[in-house]
């Protein structure tokens, strides 16, 4: 398991759309497995679950992304899992870390105005 969390400024709807598009675009084996959205007053919550094939681990890894927004204040929490091949201990988490790193790059590019 690998985790990334960050607070930043932006537009919730634009950011969640960019996350969906870019995670799929940046990896040919990525797929959006499910998503849900919820709104309470002026707080928006979006959850997306992605999967992709990890060549390093020869298996699929998942990436769960939660985006919370109130006005232009955003908070993202992303957790990747499933890259380990061990039965008792977690080893070989490179696939999880690589998947999460790609999302971190997407968020950095969004904050920097590059996407």
How many whole angstroms separate alpha carbon 71 and alpha carbon 47? 18
CB neighbour list of residue 53: distance below 8 Å, 6 or more residues apart: 29, 59, 60
Name the one residue in this structure whose structure tokens are 């002026």: 42
43-74 residue pLDDT tens: 999 999 999 987 766 678 999 999 999 999 99
28-42 residue pLDDT tens: 899 999 999 999 999
Helix (H) or strand (E) holding 35: strand 31-40
The DSSP secondary-structure symbol of 99 reads: H
In this model, does residue 91 exceed pLDDT 70? no
Query: Where are the domains positioned within the chain?
Result: 2-111
Q: Decide: pTM greater than 0.85.
A: yes
Band of pLDDT at residue 85, cut at 50, 70 and 90: low
Q: What are phi and psi of 107, to 5 degrees?
A: -65, -40
CATH 3.30.310, domain 2-111, yes or no: yes
Say what angle helices 12-25 and 94-111 make with each other, to 10 degrees.
Answer: 140
């Amino acid at each position: 398991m690998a985790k990334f969390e960050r607070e930043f400024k932006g537009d919730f709807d634009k950011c969640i759309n960019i996350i969906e598009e870019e995670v799929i675009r940046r990896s040919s084996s990525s797929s959006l497995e499910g998503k849900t959205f919820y709104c309470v007053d002026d707080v928006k919550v979006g959850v997306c679950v992605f999967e992709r094939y990890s060549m390093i681990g020869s298996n699929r890894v998942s990436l769960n992304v939660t985006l919370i927004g109130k006005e232009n204040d955003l908070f993202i929490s992303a957790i990747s899992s499933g890259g380990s091949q061990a039965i008792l201990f977690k080893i070989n988490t490179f696939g999880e870390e690589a998947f999460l790193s790609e999302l971190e790059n997407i968020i950095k590019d969004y904050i920097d105005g590059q996407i």
